[in-house]
């Protein structure tokens, strides 16, 4: 069963004080307004209605929680940088996102959606700053890659990887297209990896020759 299939809407919150008690690992999705976040979520979830919730007028300023099959939560953060919104409201959204990214302990990783034609805006970097120091992973989806030629897409990918390299291997970057449904498997593999407890990934133990595994204490 793919990671995000059958996600179910659970709750929306408007203020940090409204956050529900942690009830599973959370994977947050953030991005500039219009970057393609709702489309990317719908593409990963596999149906078109889910992120409608987040697009409903009045819900765009909220943090929307969706429960995944595994028990983990997909957390859709409000889109930022929308120019037509008054400064005061914009600051409120940003405050909500900042508080969530900096303090939420059940947040295990951030998926950052950027339009591949306009990657790494000042606000995107702000999101990264708020979260990267926690040491937890960030996966960047450079979406709408179908709008670029193959060569241009490859160049953007390389450029963004290079720009984020100083943050270390916890930050990963890929191309994505909701229109072409490309990049879905790669995204699922990276994000799914966050949900696997450390030490059980990829059959490390199974590949270890018999006898090379540390003996249990007292054996
Ligand atoms: P959000 O505001 O970040 O949730 O952005 P949306 O998902 O609503 O997308 C904004 C606009 O970009 C819409 O017109 C989408 O149809 C378009 N869009 C989103 N993803 C893609 C993509 O992968 N390829 C193309 N060509 N257009 C896209």
- The pLDDT tens digits of the residues spanning 2-49 come to 788 888 999 999 889 999 999 999 999 999 999 999 999 999 988 766
Q: What is the mean pLDDT of the chain?
A: 87
Determine, yes or no, domain membership for 213: no
**What is the reported pTM?**
0.89
Mutation probe of ligand 1 site: the residue of 30, 39, 184 with most atoms within 8 A of C-beta? 39
The domain containing residue 157 runs over which residues?
8-199
Number of the ligand 1 atom closest to the C-alpha atom of 113: 3
Structurally, the chain folds into a number of domains equal to: 1
Q: Residue 109 falls within a domain, yes or no?
A: yes
Phi-psi region of 61 (alpha: psi -120 to 50; beta: other; left: phi over 0): alpha
Whether 189 has a pLDDT exceeding 90, the answer reads yes
Residue 121: inside a domain:
yes
pLDDT of residue 174: 98
- The verdict on residue 209 lying in a domain is no
- Number of residues written out for the chain: 219
Residue 135 lies in a domain: yes
Q: Does 182 fall in a domain?
A: yes
44 domain residue, yes or no: yes
SS3 94: helix
CATH number at residue 46: 3.40.50.300
Judge whether 188 lies within some domain. Answer: yes
CA 61 / ligand 1 centre spacing (Å): 18
CA of 52 from ligand 1 middle (Å) equals 13
Confidence bin at 219 (pLDDT 50/70/90): very low
């Amino acid at each position: 069963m793919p990671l995000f299939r059958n996600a179910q809407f659970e709750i929306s919150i408007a203020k940090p004080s409204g956050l529900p008690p942690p009830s599973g690992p959370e994977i947050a999705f953030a991005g500039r307004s219009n970057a393609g976040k709702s489309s990317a979520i719908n593409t990963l979830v596999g149906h078109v209605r889910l992120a409608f919730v987040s697009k409903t007028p009045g819900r765009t300023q909220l943090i929307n929680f969706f429960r995944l099959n595994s028990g983990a939560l997909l957390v859709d953060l409000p889109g930022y940088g929308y120019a037509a919104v008054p400064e005061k409201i914009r600051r409120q959204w940003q405050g909500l996102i900042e508080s969530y990214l900096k303090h939420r302990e059940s947040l295990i990783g951030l998926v950052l959606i950027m339009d591949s034609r306009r990657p790494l805006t000042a606000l995107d970097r702000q999101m990264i700053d708020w979260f990267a120091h926690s040491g937890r992973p960030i996966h960047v989806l450079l979406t709408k890659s179908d709008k670029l030629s193959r060569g241009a897409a490859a160049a953007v990918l390389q450029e963004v990887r290079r720009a984020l390299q100083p943050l270390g291997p916890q930050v990963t970057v890929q191309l994505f297209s909701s229109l072409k449904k490309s990049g879905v498997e790669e995204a699922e593999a990276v994000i799914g990896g966050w949900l696997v407890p450390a030490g059980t990934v990829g059959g490390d133990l199974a590949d270890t020759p018999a006898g090379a595994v540390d003996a249990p204490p007292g054996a």
